[in-house]
Amino acid sequence: MREVITINNLSYTYPDGTRALENINMKVYEGEKIGIAGPNGAGKTTLLLHFNGILNGSKGEVKIFGKKIKDKKREEIIKDVGVVFQDPDDQLFMPTVFDDVAFGPINLGLNKKEVRERVKEALSKLGLSGYEERCSHHLSFGEKKRVSLATVISMKSRILVLDEPTANLDPGSRMELIKVIKSLNKEEKVTIIIATHDVNALPELVDRIYVLKKTIIGEGTPYQVFSNFDLLNKANLDVPEIFKLFKILRCFGYNCEKLPLSMQEAVEQLTKTIRTRGGHIHLHIHEHTHTIGTKLKIYEHHE
């Protein structure tokens, strides 16, 4: 597969002397969905800001489609990489939703007709048709999040980078945003990079996870990462709630070879069990199950 982002030995120190990134090495391939997981202060946002040249490492290099980012023109970077910030108020600054979403295409030099078409298409994908004349700053937080994503979608960047996309969203808005992100990857072949500590969203959204704590301390599929208890402890990360539930069910005699990480996987696992066991799931009490309620740090229980 083609490498779309290549990072070699990247380090970054802020002007006040704070060391934010140390010797980062990563590769992202075309069409992948990549997660960058880590606790607050791990350097996730700092790393994302290197993908579009807002920050430049004090050491090492970042390549986009094989070309060093420092050698790319600004308009090239915009076409290649679109970044959606964690706080939508950092991204929305125009009088109306239409103006916010049109800002990028206008700066790409597109004619008025193409700009209008791109705004219409982006808003439609986010369920925001009819919002064109509304003021972005008067919208709900979830609506602002969607408008922020629309401002990037309208530029048709080949790589979409999202910083904590599900943070502070209500369940409905969160579900809709996840659906849009997955659709962009599947239907439009956009490469997705998501930085988050929302471990419940990651298994639904990504194929591979890099675990960051100023440097890369682990990498693998969601199952490989969330099954590595030493890595999770080192990174101060939890496991998805559905994983915990099925870990508890195991203690009550429910036998599943691979613990599910998402609701979809849980439904598939339960359906398979019921079909192969005569339509029933049998649970029973072991001697140690009475203590399970006080042991909710499930990832510390090695088997």
Asked whether residue 64 falls in the same domain as residue 197, the answer is yes
Asked whether residue 38 falls in the same domain as residue 130, the answer is yes
Task: Quote the number of domains for the chain.
Answer: 2
Question: pLDDT tens-digit profile of 266-286?
Answer: 999 888 888 887 777 778 776
Q: What is the spatial distance between Cα 45 and Cα 225, in angstroms, rounded to a whole number?
A: 21
Of the candidate ranges 237-251, 263-277, 289-303, the one whose mean pLDDT is the lowest: 289-303
CATH number for the domain harbouring residue 158: 3.40.50.300
Range of the domain at 271: 241-300
Asked whether residue 116 falls in the same domain as residue 261, the answer is no
The structure's pTM equals 0.89
Asked whether residue 223 falls in the same domain as residue 260, the answer is no
Q: What is the spatial distance between Cα 261 and Cα 30, in angstroms, rounded to a whole number?
A: 25
Asked whether residue 228 falls in the same domain as residue 249, the answer is no
Asked whether residue 231 falls in the same domain as residue 263, the answer is no
Of the candidate ranges 58-62, 96-100, 159-163, the one whose mean pLDDT is the lowest: 58-62
Query: Each residue of 29-60: b (16+ CB within 10 Å) or e?
Result: eebbbbbbbbeeebbbbbbbbbbbbebebeeb
Asked whether residue 95 falls in the same domain as residue 182, the answer is yes
Instruction: Count other Cβ atoms within 10 Å, centred on residue 141.
Output: 14
Question: pLDDT tens-digit profile of 40-90?
Answer: 889 999 999 999 999 998 899 999 999 999 899 888 898 899 999 999 999
